[in-house]
Structure formats: C-alpha cells, structure tokens
A and B are shown apart, each in its own frame.
Chain A
Amino acid sequence: MKYSSQMVAKPYFIFALILLAGEILFGLILGLQYINGDFLFPEIPFNVARMVHVNLLIVLILFGFMGAAYYLVPEESERELWSPLLAKITFWVFAAAGVATILGYLFVPYATLAEVTYNDLFPTMGREFLEQPTITKIGIVLVVLSFILNIGMTVLKGRKTVITVVLLTGLIGMAVFFLFAFYLPENLVLDKFFWWFVIHLWVEGVWELILGAILSFVLIKVTGVDREHIDKWLYLIIAMTLVSGILGTGHHYFYIGTPDYWLWIGSIASAVEPLPFFLMVLYAFTMAKQRRIDHDNKIALTWAKGTAVIAFLGAGVWGFMHTLAPVNYFTHGTQLTAAHGHLAFFGAYIMILFTIIAYCMPIMRGRPHGNCLKAQAVERASFWLMVIGMLGVTFALTAAGIAQIMMQRWPETGALGFMATQAELIPIYKVRFAFGLMVFIGLLTYLYSFFVKEPETVRS
C-alpha cells in the first residue's frame, strides 16, 4: 500500500461482505417460500423478504464500489485521498441509513413506513429496487455526492489515468441516473419508461464503466502488463458498452405501452450488448497470458478471470437468450428473467468485488504478497462453491422458466393458470434451493479464509 489513506477502504469492504451474507440469507428465505407459502408468513411476507434481498444487493454493491474507489484512486493518482475524514463519516452515515431502512422494511408494514416518511408529500416509493423511503433516497444522494467529491478532488489534484477518469465518469453517471428515482409520474407507462433509466442504465451502462476500471486496475497490478495496452482494451470495452447499452434500454420497451419502434431498436442494439462482456473475457485471459510478473497473489487473478467469464455467461449469454422482441414476448417476466438477473448480477457485480477484495485486502492487512498458500487454497474452494452454486441456481431457474412458458404462456387455449403452473414447478424450486445453500456455504468458506493463520516463517 503506497498511501495510508487507502486504508479507509477496509470498513467498506468488510461491511459489503456482511451485507452479502444477509442478502443470500434472505434469498434462501425467498427460496423456501417458493416451496412452502406458509414459511415465515405472516411474520415476513414474500414482498418484504424480497425488498430486503434486492436492497441489500444494491447497497452492498455501492459499498463495494466505494471501497474499490477509495483504494485504487489514491494509488492511481499518486497522492493521498482528498479527505480521509469525509470518507469515514460517509461510511457511518451510509451504514446507519442502510441498516435503519432494512429494519424499517422488516418491522414496520410498508404502507405505514410510507406514511411516517411522508411519501404523500414526495412520492417515490413502491417500485422494484427503488422501495426506499424518500428520505433514504435523499440520504443516498448526499452520501454519493460526498463520495464523488472526495474521489473527484483526488483525481483532479493528482495524476490522471484512463482508469481513474473512466471510474469517475461511471460514478458521476450513476449519480445522475439515480435522480430519475425521484420522478414518479401518475402515468404508469411513463413511470416504467423512466424507471429503467435508473435500473438498465446502471447495470448495462455506467456500472460497466466502473466494472471495467476496477478490473483493469487489478489486471495491471497482478500481471504487470504495460499500461498503454490496458488503456486501449478499457476504451474498447466501454465504447462497445455505451454504443450498445444506451439504445439497448429499448429491450425493456417492448410490452409496456411505449411506441412500437422500440421492438426493432431495442432488439438490434441490445443484441450487441454481449460484445463488451465477450471482450472482457478476451481481455482478462490475454493479459494473464502476456503477464510480465508472477504475483504470489494467485487467487486475485482467478477472481478477475472468473468475473469476466461469469459476467459474460450471465449478462451476455443469458441476456441474449431473451433480448429479441419475438422471444421476449414469451419470456417476459418469467423465471427465465430471474435466472438471467441472478447470474448477471453475481458474475459482474459481486465477483468484481471479490476480485478487488482479493487483491487489496491482503495488502491492507500487511501481506503485500497476498495471503498464505493455505488461505488461498480455502478461498479457491469457496470460489468454486459459489460459482457452481450460482450456475446451479441459474440452470434450475432456466428450467423452471422454460416449463412455465410451455405450460402457461405458449398454449393458445387451455393454458394452465399462473398459480397451478407454479405448483407444478416446486420440484425444480427444491433444486434451486439446494444450489442456493451451496452458494451460502461457499460464502461462509470464503469468510473463513480471512481467519486462516499465516505461517510464522512468512510473518517474520
């Protein structure tokens, strides 16, 4: 570690991992409710558990991005962070607001939560992923602004690299698009239209810039490849991202009351969206092959390659599967959507956090060459447990989605109703739950790897 202020990243990473454990735990609750509708009802209705599940996901990714930025920006900029104190304050404000909101979901009926937070005065609640009370949303804006100020000042006052400029562009884009969360028109179609400005333009737009920047940083560090080379790849990847991803928003505008030219524009533009993910795979493997150094932190490179591959599968392959309008006509809003959402989020935005944590956590703990071999072996086992578990979850949901379409969507007459179809799918949901459990065991194994003792000889 070159600058002491990089240490502020540590609590962000630790908190992100704690939230991840909570997220998966609530995923398992949801998985059980899919099998037995009485599970935890009425204490935790499905919608409440789901809000906790997806809100923890978003918040943990934000914590992870912040940790990553606080670590890599000083190092890239070759100076201390503009204000380490501000970074510490934002951490506690964000953590407290996040915990309070989750407790609100769990212990207060949602309608009451809306009432006591004055949703009537400024309504923003009650939409998927944007369930937070308006006051929490305002809090998120303030936290993100202070974060961007801190990172922005550090970038501006220090050495500017392609990585930091791309990262900063992604972060500013993220803040700008979040502002659409405050726009809630009375017309449901317009509501949906602009809702995707937050959701789609995040995960298939600006977040991919952040992803590319973090991946590039780790690749430089563990392969020692020339920066010119890295910069070129990064530009190519984000060029393809924005060229396809912005108009690709149209793949959500097929069947929600928007004009029908989106059927063509959305299909064509989003059909190109797998390309940047494919480039990421080539990028990670080419850099690994051309490496100039053999870093002892092998597991960091494993995570980097894994991120590229699983993101390509989840976003690229599973995304392409249902992105053409005629296919989407039948798959829209089925378990196939859930299959894709799971593998894409995991591969792209959870695995990149494991990647950056694998690289910088050992350094922050005084182990510049990475963790000892035993700890890396445990971490490698957890890598496979989580990856295979998530692939299992995805295959199970894909099977459930196809069966759902065949029973409920495809037949023109005599189709099975929704609830009857879901009852038929319970055996598949049991398989999904089993693989979900495997993911959770993988995460526990991962967390345990932090506590594997370093051998005495290495330490001295």
Chain B
Amino acid sequence: MADRITKNMARNIYFGGSLFAILVFVGLTFDTVQKVPELSNDDQITHSVASGKNLWEVNNCVGCHTIMGEGAYYAPELANVFDRRGNANEEYFKSYLQAWMAAQPLPNNGRRKMPQFNLTEEQVNDLADFLIWTSRIDDNDWPPNIEG
C-alpha cells in the first residue's frame, strides 16, 4: 500500500483530512453546547447545586469515585447515588448523606477508607443537592443497573 502513495499524496490526505475533521468537530461542538442545557436541566442549577459542585472539586472526591463513569475506580459511582440510597426522597437522601459523611472513616479493618472532610451541615446539603441534580441528567440510561 505504502509504495503506491507518494509523499505529496500523504501530505494532502493529512491537510485535507484534518481540516474536514476539525470543521465537523467544531460544528458538533456548537450543537452540543446548545443541547446540553436541556439534557442536563441547566435551569435547575441552583446556588446550592453550584456550591456542591465546588465542594466536590476542592475536596477532590473524583480522586476516589467515578461520576458518570469518569474519575477514579477506588470507590462507588456517585452520579446515581441518589437513586441508590435516596429512597426517591430528597430529604431522606440529605439526612442519609449527613450521617454518612460524619461517620467517616469507617472503622472496619482493611476496608478502603474515605477521609473525614469536616464539612458543615450546610456544605453536606449542598453536596447532596449537586448529586441529586446530577442523578437527573439524561445520560442515555447509564449505568446499566443501580449498583453503578
């Protein structure tokens, strides 16, 4: 194959092909940015959800957990933790999360440990709001089952 292709042909494929790919990609990027607000319920990002996302970041939660399948693989998926632990009830989920965060690190021998982050009650509520909002994103029905 390589013998029949000249250097000039190869260079033209490179420039032409890349230009084509870049143009399509830029177009799709604009379209995606248009559509994401609806797919993710952007209008429901309250101050509390935004603050929860910031807490998620500055405590590096993604250094152990996945969220929509991305992050680290040491600890459970959390994009659907509201579905898994929340009993379909936001207040229930918030009290669950308060208790969970306060109990860390669990004393079980040899079990993977989650650090104690010393968050305030309000901060944990913000995190809960962020995780509830995340659980409602239209992500093509991922994950396959409730265990994440």
Contacts and interface: CB of A to CB of B under 8 A. Distances in A.
B116 to A, nearest CB: 8
Contact of B71 (A128, A255, A263, A335): A128
B113 A41 contact: yes
A48 interface: yes
Given A231-B7, A422-B112, A257 B14 contact: no
Interface in A321-335: 329-330, 332-335
Contact of A37 (B25, B70, B113, B147): B113
Contacts of A334: 73
Given A259-B32, A260-B140, A335-B73, A419 B112 contact: yes
Contacts of B58: 110-111, 114-115, 119, 125-126
Interface string A224-250: 000010011101101100110011010
A74 B31 CA distance: 44
A127 to B, nearest CB: 7
A192 B71 CA distance: 11
Given A235-B11, A259-B39, A333-B71, A187 B18 contact: no
B72 A128 contact: yes
B102 interface: no
Contact of B25 (A188, A249, A408): A249
A48 B143 CA distance: 27
A337 B73 contact: yes
Interface stretch (A20-28, A79-87, A91-99, A409-417): A409-417
Number of chain A interface residues as a range: 35 or more
B25 A247 contact: yes
Contacts of B45: 186-187
Given A236-B13, A238-B14, A329-B142, A126 B25 contact: no
A446 interface: no
A128 B70 contact: yes
Contacts of A412: 144-145
Interface in A23-46: 33-34, 36-38, 41-42, 45-46
Contacts of B112: 33, 37, 46, 419, 422
Interface string A37-67: 1100110011110110000000000000000
A189 interface: yes
Interface string B58-73: 1111111011111111
Contacts of A47: 60-61, 63-64, 72, 74, 115
Contacts of A203: none
A332 B21 contact: no
Given A47-B72, A50-B72, A232 B5 contact: yes
A459 to B, nearest CB: 42
Interface residues of B, number: 71
A246 B22 CA distance: 7
A257 B68 CA distance: 9
B14 A333 contact: no
B137 interface: yes
A187 B36 contact: yes
A232 B113 contact: no
The residue in A231, A243, A249, A263 that gathers the most chain B C-beta atoms within 10 A of its C-beta is A243
Interface in A236-293: 236, 238-239, 242-243, 246-247, 249, 252-263, 265, 282, 286
A252 B105 CA distance: 33
A131 interface: yes
Contacts of A187: 36-37, 40, 42, 45
A320 interface: no
A257 B40 contact: yes
A253 B137 CA distance: 13
Interface string A388-429: 000000000000000000001111110111110110000000
Q: Which of B32, B59, B61, B109 gathers the greatest number of chain A CB atoms within 10 Å?
A: B32
Given A41-B105, A46-B113, A411-B145, 18 more contacts: A38-B110, A38-B113, A45-B113, A47-B115, A48-B60, A51-B60, A127-B57, A239-B13, A242-B21, A243-B20, A246-B21, A253-B32, A255-B68, A257-B40, A257-B137, A259-B36, A333-B66, A409-B145
24 contacts: A34-B74, A38-B109, A41-B105, A46-B63, A50-B74, A51-B63, A126-B57, A127-B57, A188-B40, A192-B68, A232-B7, A233-B10, A236-B10, A238-B14, A242-B18, A247-B24, A253-B32, A258-B32, A261-B28, A332-B69, A332-B142, A335-B73, A409-B145, A419-B76
